[in-house]
């Protein structure tokens, strides 16, 4: 008799456990949104723009393919250090930064004798603006950093700018961006050599390190 009672109890427990499992709803992880400070900045300025939501991308090539845009319509941003000062560089994704040319532009624009222009380490970046290099938006005023934009970029009417999120970007007129950021213009970009990869080689590709 005791065995029978024990069997009934275990059966009840199993049913309760099964019912409990059915009632549990697994929530999917929410997508990353545009950083609050960038959203507030754009809202406060009232500049005309559009937030584009897309799949997670880590490279400009990926962003261009996902958004069906040309590479010269996708902006990329990079923090550089000129001696002890910081600048946010914005240029089209079909170009790379020539640091020597950038140095000449900075000397001309700032009227200062700059010795060294370099890309700071991630550790220095995190200490300065509390953000990793790959997640820097194009909006320098958010970080109190002057913006320098590649002059050839103003040939594009509208462009997609990094927001600081891997799955949200900001589309706006290039002239509005220049005015908004009071950006300095200069020629320091050089054509980027693009290597095409087959779909087979692209599978299982790890998140790339940031390149200029």
Q: CA geometry: angle at 191 spanning 51 and 135, to 5°?
A: 35
pTM score: 0.75
State the CATH architecture for 36-202.
Alpha-Beta Complex (3.90)
Q: Measure the CA–CA gap between 74 and 61, rounded to whole angstroms.
A: 9
Cβ atoms of residues 150 and 95 within 8 Å = yes
Q: Coil, strand or helix: which one is 135?
A: helix
Each domain of the chain, given as residue ranges in start order, spans 36-202
Q: Measure the CA–CA gap between 57 and 64, rounded to whole angstroms.
A: 10
Closest CA to 58 of 158, 196, 183, 208: 208
Per-residue pLDDT of the chain (212 residues; tens, 9 = 90+): 444 444 444 454 445 444 443 433 434 344 558 899 999 999 999 999 999 999 999 888 899 999 999 999 999 999 999 999 999 999 999 999 999 999 999 999 999 999 999 999 888 888 887 777 678 999 999 999 999 999 999 899 999 999 999 999 999 999 999 999 999 999 999 998 766 444 344 444 455 555 45
Hey, what are 114's tokens? 């700059």
pLDDT for the residue numbered 122: 83
pLDDT for the residue numbered 203: 46
Q: Measure the CA–CA gap between 136 and 87, rounded to whole angstroms.
A: 12
**Residue reference for tokens 């949104």:** 33
**Residue reference for tokens 């909006």:** 139
For the CA atoms of 165, 166, 171, 174, the dihedral, rounded to the nearest 10 degrees, stands at 80
Cβ atoms of residues 172 and 49 within 8 Å = yes
Q: Measure the CA–CA gap between 173 and 209, rounded to whole angstroms.
A: 29
């Amino acid at each position: 008799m005791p065995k029978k009672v024990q069997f009934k109890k275990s059966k009840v427990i199993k049913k309760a456990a099964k019912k409990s499992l059915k009632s549990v709803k697994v929530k999917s992880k929410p997508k990353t949104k545009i950083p609050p400070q960038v959203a507030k900045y754009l809202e406060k300025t009232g500049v005309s723009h559009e937030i584009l939501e897309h799949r997670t991308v880590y490279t400009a090539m990926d962003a261009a393919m996902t958004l069906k845009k040309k590479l010269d319509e996708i902006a990329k941003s990079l923090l550089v250090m000129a001696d002890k000062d910081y600048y946010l560089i914005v240029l089209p994704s079909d170009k790379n930064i020539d640091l020597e040319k950038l140095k000449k532009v900075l000397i001309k624009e700032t009227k200062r004798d700059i010795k060294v222009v370099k890309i700071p380490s991630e550790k220095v970046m995190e200490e300065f603006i509390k953000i990793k290099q790959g997640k820097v938006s194009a909006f320098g005023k958010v970080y109190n950093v002057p913006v320098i934009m590649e002059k050839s970029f103003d040939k594009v009417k509208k462009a997609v700018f990094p927001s600081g999120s891997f799955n949200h970007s900001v589309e706006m007129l290039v002239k509005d961006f220049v005015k908004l950021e009071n950006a300095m213009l200069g020629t320091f970009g050089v054509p980027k050599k693009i290597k095409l990869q087959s779909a087979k080689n692209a599978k299982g590709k790890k998140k790339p390190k940031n390149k200029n």
